[in-house]
């Protein structure tokens, strides 16, 4: 699970990096927000990297797939502007929060160090979700079009990572 979390944080870094690159041109009002979210994700990845090192684990085989997929998603949604960016964040973070809650439940009596690491990032991931959700109407075409696609892609990447 820690391997998949590490790969997922790498994917999130790539999403926000792609969005930040495009937002400078197409949604300049979002630059500071994206920089903040990106800094959170970089810290989360470092925390999971430390857990991998402590356990002498290699990173997940899906690490680079998460990065490439994240960058493409970030660039495309960033190109489409603010509504696409926030819709993507809501969709990704919804899946991530569900995944983290499952991990916390599964690991609670098995691995207290993993639980502590996972629990330490939940508040920021929830903030990303809630802050973005407050900016979009669920009836908005961007939200309605992107949510099922991004949700399915995120769930698939997590599923693949858990089986590698």
pTM, whole model, 2 decimals? 0.95
| 161 — pLDDT class (breaks 50, 70, 90) | confident
User: What is the Cα–Cα distance from 89 to 84, expressed in whole angstroms?
Assistant: 9
Is residue 162's pLDDT more than 90?
no
Provide the 10 A C-beta neighbour count for residue 35: 12
Q: Give percent above pLDDT 90 in the chain.
A: 90
**Going from the N-terminus, what domains does the chain have, and what CATH number goes with each?**
1-163 (1.20.1260)
Contact 100, 45 (CB under 8 A): no
Is residue 133's pLDDT more than 80?
yes
| Residue-level pLDDT at 157 | 86
67-87 pLDDT per residue, tens: 999 999 999 999 999 999 999
Helix, strand, or coil (residue 63): helix
| Residue-level pLDDT at 5 | 95
Average pLDDT for the chain: 95
Nearest Cα to 93, choosing from 3, 9, 19?
Answer: 9
28-52 pLDDT per residue, tens: 999 999 999 999 999 999 999 999 9
What is the DSSP secondary structure assignment for residue 135, as one 8-state letter?
T
106-119 pLDDT per residue, tens: 999 999 999 999 99
């Amino acid at each position: 699970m820690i391997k998949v979390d590490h790969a997922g944080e790498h994917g999130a870094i790539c999403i926000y990096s792609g969005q930040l690159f495009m937002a400078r041109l197409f949604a300049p009002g979002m630059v500071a927000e994206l920089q903040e979210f990106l800094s959170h994700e970089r810290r989360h990845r470092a925390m999971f990297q430390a857990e991998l090192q402590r356990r002498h684990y290699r990173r997940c085989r899906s690490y680079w797939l998460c990065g490439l997929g994240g960058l493409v998603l970030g660039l495309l949604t960033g190109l489409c502007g603010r509504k696409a960016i926030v819709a993507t964040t809501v969709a990704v973070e919804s899946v991530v929060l569900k995944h983290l809650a499952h991990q916390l439940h599964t690991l609670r009596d098995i691995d207290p160090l993993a639980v502590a690491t996972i629990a330490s990032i939940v508040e920021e991931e929830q903030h990303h979700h809630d802050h973005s959700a407050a900016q979009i109407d669920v009836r908005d075409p961007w939200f309605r079009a992107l949510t099922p696609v991004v949700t399915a892609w995120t769930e698939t990447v997590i599923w693949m990572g858990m089986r590698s």
